[in-house]
Amino acid sequence: MKLNWKLFAPLAVGVAIALSPAPEGLAPHAWYYFAIFAGVITGLVLEPLPGAAVGLLGVAVVMVLAPWVYFSPEQLAKAGFKPASEAIRWGLSGFSNTTVWLIFAAFMFALGYDKSGLGKRIALLLVKAMGRRTLTLGYAVTIADLILAPFTPSNTARSGGTIYPVIRNLPALYDSKPNDPSARRIGSYLMWTAIAATSVTSTMFLTGLAPNLLAIELVKKTSSIEISWMQWITAMAPFGFVMLLVLPLLVYVLYPPVVKGGSEVPDWAAGELQKLGRMSWREIVLAVLVVIALGLWISGGKFIDASAVAVTVVALMVLFGVVTWDDVLGNKQAWNVLVWFGTLVALAAGLANVGFVTWFAKAVGAYMEGFSPLTAMVALTLVFFFIHYMFASITAHVTAVIPVMLAVGSAIPGMNMPQFAMMLVGTLGIMGILTPYATGPSPVYYGSGYLPARHYWLLGAVFGVIFIAVYLLVGVPWLGTLY
């Protein structure tokens, strides 16, 4: 049997760090905890096992070895201290986290869009209305993603599962074939517009990308800074709307289609809508529930938690038959994310609990002397954005790098930490444009046959630079007025 080196790499990384001497000023148990954490991150990057399994293994190892890797000698010496009980309490703490359950519930929203057919109907309506010109068809794809984004934290489900199945039928209507020179007739334009649009909408909404929700929880755990749904959209709206307004035109200029227009696409969409018929009861109910949820997320924060709203809506979806309980039980992606994020929240919080984050902030702060807070903020944001070339998972990127960046920022005198935290987490969506593996739907569009590898990498670099440049030019002054 052939051995998979990826299975041994996380163990090798963890053991190598643990056997190295602890840095000056850091307690040995904190260094051992960091070794386990580094092994988990290696596993998340290489994925010898699914991410949720890697996280669960990491938590299990810490719980078993807690007296040596998690608790300090002072804690263990306290009368009545029970390390076994405290270890299991820490290990399961992520599953009592409200943000983790908001993520889970939002995945159920996406399931409702799929099961009811509402997501497909929205996309087809826009294609029918705007599909006579290739440029306006690009805007239709963008608007469809924008409408679905606040309620679909999986951009894979939103773009790869709802938008892509609709637009993949369109190129053939213009004799634009995958893996063929004719791909540039219209197919290449549509596919790149779709992946670029979902990258922007993933940045615009807190609930538009699952790692956004993980990120704000890590920010809260690491820096005691809370970011609400409304604060997020307020911070990201200027960049997002500016970018979406020009995005289809930008793609049209930089990666132009050969076909500029025609009636085939709207005619096809009209036929598909006719097959769907009138809105079903399930679609109407879901639409009402979504509007109520959005209203409460925006204005109901003073009297009801966002997670409570989401869980209640899921319960009502089951009650009114939008989805069945079997649908809920069978949504493997949602349950997988629940375990994945529940373990990662606990592991990342542990870095602060053992004192690693505080030590790191002091150690790195010495190297940042001489930088103004604004220069340091921009430089760290750029580093945070472009190192995503090293990651195949935004979740792994968030877990590994957010606590470190916040620790560095906190060590810089005069740093506006709420603004800095918002600057960092706001890049998570747009970094999905960089590579064919940068975010969930990337492999879907890369594998469509309409975006050759050379084109994808070049476009990813060009649009990555454009996105982060506009983000900084708009975001830095705007966030400066908010924080």
45 with 17, same domain?
A: yes
Within 10 A of 269 (CB to CB), how many other CB atoms are there? 24
Q: Which residues of 130-159 are buried (b: 16+ CB within 10 A; e: fewer)?
A: bbebbbbbbbbbbbbbbbbbbbbbbbbbbb
129 with 277, same domain?
A: yes
Task: Provide mean pLDDT across the span 10-34.
Answer: 92
Position 253 scores a pLDDT of 96
Q: Can you name the residues that pair with 133 across neighbouring β-strands?
A: 261
Question: Does the residue 393 lie in any domain?
Answer: no
The one-letter code for the residue type at 287 is A
> 452-481: per-residue pLDDT in tens?
888 998 999 999 999 999 999 998 899 988
Residue 62 has pLDDT above 50, yes or no: yes
Question: Does the residue 420 lie in any domain?
Answer: no
CA nearest neighbour of 316 among 477, 154, 15, 109:
109
144 with 256, same domain?
A: yes
Domain that holds residue 200: 98-336+437-482
282 with 233, same domain?
A: yes
> 72-96: per-residue pLDDT in tens?
888 988 888 888 999 999 999 888 8
Residue 1 has pLDDT above 50, yes or no: no
Average pLDDT over the chain, rounded to an integer: 86
> 335-356: per-residue pLDDT in tens?
887 887 788 778 877 877 888 8
3 with 124, same domain?
A: no
Task: Provide mean pLDDT across the span 119-148.
Answer: 85
18 with 106, same domain?
A: no
Task: Provide mean pLDDT across the span 109-128.
Answer: 80
Question: Does the residue 36 lie in any domain?
Answer: yes
Rounded distance between C-alpha atoms, residue 396 and residue 55, angstroms: 10
49 with 159, same domain?
A: no
> 193-237: per-residue pLDDT in tens?
999 999 999 999 998 998 998 899 889 988 889 998 899 999 999
The residue out of 73, 91, 109 marking a domain boundary is 91
| Number of domains the chain contains | 2
Question: Does the residue 386 lie in any domain?
Answer: no
254 with 330, same domain?
A: yes
121 with 13, same domain?
A: no
Within 10 A of 311 (CB to CB), how many other CB atoms are there? 17
Model pTM? Answer: 0.72
